Structure 1
């Protein structure tokens, strides 16, 4: 009995001793050595407990709460050398770490994440694209393009060849949440989508979430593309740029106050048609031109060790001018985006980090056309003003809690048309729509026990439409309440370890969308209109379920994943079959609401080490839509449905200065609506079409190659340069771009016939780009010490 009582007493004393152990927090920032750029998604763990660790957030901040003792912390980020720090934790500690770039080493990866994070994290369908990888890929006309590189991943495709609009897991381009420093980008393309608005020289990090996004993201039902701009070198001045066949670019960055404040400004402009001006100056087409430009800029200032302010902005513009002086006809079409983000980071406590942002964004389109005394002007656009607050809380190594809110004021002008013939003026418009959108979220990414992780979250979204508005029964005045929607959006994901290098993941998410793009075209064009949810237009809803197996092989040299998904879509918008554009204020009456579904399987195999690296991606999928008022509810393939999509990407480092890359793409042809019959009424041809999207274009395939010469690894110098040679569509495949109806020349003599003609645009296209960089401090190679 005494022995039993003694054992119980010892147990209680032991438990008391354990509970009395103090805990302390070690926290700090992870930055890049040589530039001071914060590193997003770096991994930190104790060398004796690799399964429990944390990642740096979007501002490089990290925090760990541990019991008192001695630890050896490991800091890793793919593409950078690993760092170890030994600490004695007997009080709260600040530990800032700089990681050295390992780009001159022969290890290259396709994901800027710690090598096993794809297995250990709860994230699914997620890729982080390093800008250095993007710059090695073969490029159309030498224009390095982040969005086109994302198209090489499984589950992602483009609308048509060459365009930057993304169709991800059965969702359209408007169903992607595209963010640039937290600001929503409504139009992602230049030159009608052939080039994206993202200048790779200004971009630090691009994260693609193809499906089930954490609760911190919302407002779209398909996917997330989160783009973070560079902050600017805070240690020394740098300049870099490039000269290509159709455009040039220049980026300047450096410290304003060393190690305290920095700036970056990056600009590019096309000039292909500028070079043609001498040849058309004395013709009827004098004044015809096209160009686009964009400017990225950002400054940041560290107020205290716990406070930092960021101000970033983007301004881009496309300008098309066409003149036919012989017919006194002219067209001018300018359109573009502008965004601005003001952010304040604050460390409330060592384990609690906050960010408050004020965001503005504007997308506008204008068409001016005229001939002699007649002129017409068409305007449309979207203006948003947002404020948001987010927090990261690290109560322990098993929990990473995020919570926050966002409010957005929307002003959408679908179309404003004015015309005059010199005597009579005409004004017709689709009503400008106004709305208030609010979001509140909470999530916990936590380790339930060794080998089992959960990410559970809940998001509430609310949209309130306000006047002025012409409703079904009433006319509403400015600011008057019209309609409100409230949608709860649960999110849950799990990770179950099946071994040291493998896991099974699954998830479910609900998403809502209150802003819609309505298009008569097969791809996103500037003439398409954005409309909000109203009493007639319900918010879109998306329910996605996913399951996958993830594994690393051969000492983590290869990464393999197989993911399946199923997505239900509700309240999808389209025009009625009989709709004819008349610019009336009653356009909402011409919308029909329907449903959609998408399901598929994605295979991804990547080699992450060595001189030869790359990936293979294959997607087997199906995307369908149906509307009760279109073809009596018949289920038809979506225009961008591609059952089979295969991508091969490879890169090989021939020497320290030469690297070659190639990619091959094969995909099922796009669906289109074929001609069924032709008949003559009053001497005019009339075409009757078959079932919607019941025919397909020929399969799409092409091979691209590139060679890059870079002298940066050969010498220690302030100035470096490189040459990028690429060939797009090496074997000159004439892939169909679109179809049109061709009538026979005998149509008016009674022998009526019509056929669909397939048009190809891109043949074999070689290009060359010269890139250069200069810094006020010579480059430090890996085997050298800092100056």
Structure 2
């Protein structure tokens, strides 16, 4: 740990003391950019200095800083979908200047319309690649199942992103599994982002401001997952006026309230929603099922307090739960809870800091409430964390970011209680503790008008702690079989004793070379390390899957990814964005399972796990239309993801269960007139891999299907494709009360997409043949089209 700490501190001291001394004749312009209608900060807004033919952008909190020689400048502030504002600013000393922009439909008197060419879009100028940003106004236009806007389903329409099918929890990015994605809600991790077994996400669209998905080139400030970072930011609350919005849909109702507690000083937002499938179904249930429940709810809230020009405090939280109860026979619930406290502090014109502490808890419970089958099973994972992030704006062409973080993990893999007449005995797996630390530093540097770099280093550490229990080690008896306990090396762990310590350097690098004003070539490399693992041997992760830390037997996963991309915008106003990216990723210590693995409530879970390597590579093509009545995008992904684990598939490479070589997405939105807008999406994906038997044998008169050559994922289910349609009609009652009716049809041509295919035996009526025959049965989550209507309102 000593060397990387010294390296980072040395770099910081150099930047703080040497570089400022070389720029004493310069002054700094800084401030925030916000939405004029509600005071929301603008993330990634542009500040363009005409005289320099360049500028900067705001950070994730809407703050900007740019250091210039003393003088007079024409500065243009702009943000997509808003009217630009150009002002002449004379800089004789450091100046703080915050800007508010109005939407394009509401021209403000201060706006100066200029004939100068616009600054190029960030997708061309930025060093970032493999990144997609989505605004909520775009997401809300996309047709959705049951008419409910959904963040995760919108993410699945981006290139390089897939899922294993309808009803599947989470998403897969560039060949990674579900747990390879770090999903953050206001900096707090969300471990299960799905409601109703994957049909909806936990993110209420009325509470979300925007999101950004990193598929590669992940900033050094983030780590802990292999494949992607989904950064979701909640609204900060309207600082100008109180506003109420919501919707009444086919299966759920939403309500959101936001406004100022003290105008332009303190604001809040509270958003809630609940499904009512159980309420609608109750009149049709039999008496023994009258007490059944099937619903989910979530509640989001945030307070934003601007103490003064240099200090702002944010406090946000989320709580959500799914509840399933079938009469008095079975009950099941799961949910997330997060809480985040952040403090933004401006030390000076050049140094911006954000201090964060958060809490995250994911838990589930299932069981039978009474009788001889009575039991209750609970499990959860809890995080407590603190982190500090700093942005140091050296010059307009050089920004240095650095920081540190610490996370405490508590894993409670399972506790079962019986009681009374129950046939089940109470048992509890030992809890597990771990600590994860990280320090990082990165620099974004524009070497010339054509060439810019973003490079950095993250150093992560993971400390697996004991819990007054036996410390097991395992040895391989035969590759692919259950591992045996190494009786000679049994040990005992004291509580909080450091059992196994891991550390890894995680370099990050990206470069942008501009071929011309609207074309750039980018390349990136990043290494990521993941110290916690989701244990699931099903194709789609489920709410009862178990999270476990890296231990003395289970090594952290490591991935190295390189990518190369060509980015080009077309049209006078960058009407079209186009990109082509290729990537190659290698993965170490990938988890797979022995045949017939017992993963639930297994004290010796690690004996069921196998470890190997993986690789993923592909091509992503993307065309997006930004302007005009017709907007949308088309993407095509050609990819392959494979694993090689000794003991599986005869030790040869095999495609992973997330492999979908061809993936096509078409999204279109059309403004028909002032009242009506139309939308449609079409998706096509190669069927997911599956293992089918290639032979059979007879046992006690039964025909048993068998895979004779021990192959893995050698077959596929049929391809997946679906068309969704949507139409929105504005139904405003007055200028203050706005309403709209949203009509949608999910799976418009009633495609019976298979989620899985199972083999079942059936009696053969042909007396001259085998007494049993084997039939393949297809399970489709949706076997028909699903129409829906939702009424949204705002006042």
Of 23, 26, 29, which residue of structure 1 is paired with 2:29?
26
Partner of 2:383: 384
Find the counterpart in structure 1 of residue 395 from structure 2.
Answer: 396
Shift of residue 90, structure 1, vs aligned partner:
0.3
Aligned partner of 2:238 among 233, 238, 254: 233
SS of 1:759's equivalent in the other structure is strand
Structure 2: distance between partners of 1:340 and 1:511: 26
Change (3 A) 1:582 1:412: closer
After superposition, residues 163-182 of structure 1 pair within 5 angstroms as 163=168, 165-182=170-187
Distance in 1 (CA, whole Å) between partners of 2:588 and 2:69 is 49
Call closer, same or farther: CA 1:481–1:698 in 2, change over 3 Å. Answer: same
Structure 2 unaligned runs (5+)?
1-20, 108-117, 474-489
Give 1:481's aligned residue: 498
Q: Matches of 2:509 and 2:765 in 1, distance apart?
A: 61
After superposition, the Cα gap between the structure-2 partners of 1:747 and 1:672, relative to the gap in structure 1 and judged at 3 Å, is farther
User: Partner residue of 1:662?
Assistant: 680
Counterparts in 2 of 1:423 and 1:89: CA distance versus 1, 3 Å: closer
Query: How far apart, in 2, do the equivalents of 1:581 and 1:699 lie?
Result: 30
The SS at the match of 1:41 is coil
Checking the alignment, whether the CA contact within 8 Å between 2:374 and 2:422 is kept in structure 1 is no
SS of equivalent residue, structure 1 residue 769: strand
Distance 1:86 1:740, change over 3 A: same
Structure 2 residue matching 1:592: 3-state secondary structure: strand
2:287 match: secondary structure: coil
Deviates more, 1:631-640 or 1:177-186: 631-640
Does residue 528 (structure 1) correspond to residue 532 (structure 2)? The answer is no
Query: In 1, Cα distance between the equivalents of 2:337 and 2:596?
Result: 36
2:418 aligned counterpart, secondary structure? strand
* Structure 1 contact 683–748 (Cα < 8 Å) conserved: no
**2: CA distance, partners of 1:160 / 1:361:** 28
Matched, 1:677 2:695: yes
2:514 maps to what in 1? Answer: 497
Q: Residue 253 of structure 1 corresponds to which residue in structure 2? A: 258
**CA shift in 2, pair 1:190/1:103, >3 Å:** farther
SS in 1 for 2:137: helix
Equivalence for 1:124? 129
Partner of residue 194 from structure 2, selected from 170, 189, 204: 189
| Unpaired stretches in structure 1, ≥5 consecutive residues | 1-17, 106-112, 324-328, 775-787
For residues 546-585 of structure 1, what are the structure 2 equivalents within 5 Å?
546-555=563-572, 556-581=574-599, 583-585=601-603
Answer yes or no: is 1:35 the counterpart of 2:38: yes
Q: How far apart are residue 423 of structure 1 and its match? A: 6.8
Aligned to 2:111: none
CA change 1:582–1:211 in 2 (3 A) is closer
Name the CA distance, whole Å, in 1 between partners of 2:164 and 2:67: 47
Shift of 1:557: 1.2
Map of 1:295 onto structure 2: 299
The answer to whether the aligner puts 1:92 opposite 2:97 as a matched pair is no
| Equivalent in the alignment of 2:655 | 637
Q: What is residue 363 of structure 2 aligned with on the other side?
A: 364
SS in 1 for 2:41: coil
The 5 A counterparts of 1:249-648 are 249-280=254-285, 282-323=286-327, 330-370=329-369, 372-420=371-419, 422=421, 426-468=425-467, 469-471=469-471, 472=473, 473-555=490-572, 556-581=574-599, 583-648=601-666
Match for residue 65 of structure 1 among 64, 67, 75: 67
User: Which residue of structure 2 lines up, in the alignment, with residue 6 of structure 1?
Assistant: none
**Does the alignment pair 1:200 with 2:199?**
no
Determine the C-alpha separation between the residues in 2 that align with 1:164 and 1:54: 38
Whole-Å Cα distance in 2 between the matches of residues 20 and 638 of structure 1? 54
SS at match of 1:368: strand
How far does the alpha carbon of each residue in 1:245-264 deviate from its partner, in whole angstroms, 9 at most, with x for none? Answer: 00000000000111100000
Asked if the contact 1:21/1:68 (under 8 Å) is kept, the reply is no
**Per-residue deviation, residues 352-411 of structure 1 (Å, max 9, x unmatched):** 011111100000011122562331221111000000000111011011111111100000
1:758 corresponds to 2:778 = yes
Change (3 A) 1:115 1:313: farther
Give the superposition deviation at 1:21: 7.8
For normalisation by structure 2, the TM-score amounts to: 0.91
Q: How far apart, in 1, do the equivalents of 2:365 and 2:65 lie?
A: 49
**Other-structure match for 1:782:** none
Give the superposed CA RMSD: 1.9
Measured in 1, the distance between the counterparts of 2:294 and 2:305 equals 38
Equivalent pair of 2:169/2:540 in contact (CA under 8 Å): no
TM-score, structure 1 as length reference: 0.92
Q: Which moved more, 1:503-512 or 1:638-647?
A: 638-647
